[in-house]
Amino acid sequence: MDRIAEIKKEIESINTIDDSNIIRLESLCEEILALNKEDRHTSILMEPLFRILERNPEYDFGMPGLIVHTLETYYRKGLEEELPKSLNRKPTFYTIWMLNRILNGTSDPKEQERYLEMLKAILRMDVPDYLKEQVQHLIALHA
């Protein structure tokens, strides 16, 4: 088994993040970042990383945190396809924040509208009030 497949398996084995295993997750993220610098094809690791964020919506990964930093290295390399999937499954503070960063980084009106529609769709989902408030704030910023 190659190292990327091993990393994927390790990430998938992590369910709940706490102080006992955050260092392991961050070590895996650092390894992914190193592989990305070598132009290794690690995009299969995006989905399991998003799943960790989805399963741990209350955990403070930092601002932005190594997991978000790792995911953002896929900007214009598949992130724009994988992030909406995660948002549709279970929006979190971090995934909404990442969507806003992408929205801030685009000047294409069609892309902007697409990302704003994603934010509006979250308001129709069963999510905690603090996430709805965050989304409403972001929508107002871009209106």
51-99: pLDDT as tens digits: 999 999 999 999 989 999 999 999 999 999 999 999 999 999 999 999 9
Contacts for 94 with CB less than 8 Å, ≥ 6 apart: 53, 61, 64, 65, 67, 68
Quick one: tokens of 67?
Answer: 């997991």
Block residue for tokens 């902007």: 112
**Cα–Cα nearest to 31, from 63, 1, 7:** 7
Closest by CA position to 53, among listed 87, 80, 23: 87
Contact 34, 67 (CB under 8 A): no
> What number of CA atoms fall less than 13 Å from residue 61's CA on the CB side?
28
Beta-carbon neighbour count of residue 5 at 10 Å? Answer: 11
Q: For residue 1, what pLDDT is reported?
A: 67
pLDDT in tens, 1-27: 699 999 999 999 999 999 999 999 999
- Domains of the chain are 3-142 (1.25.10)
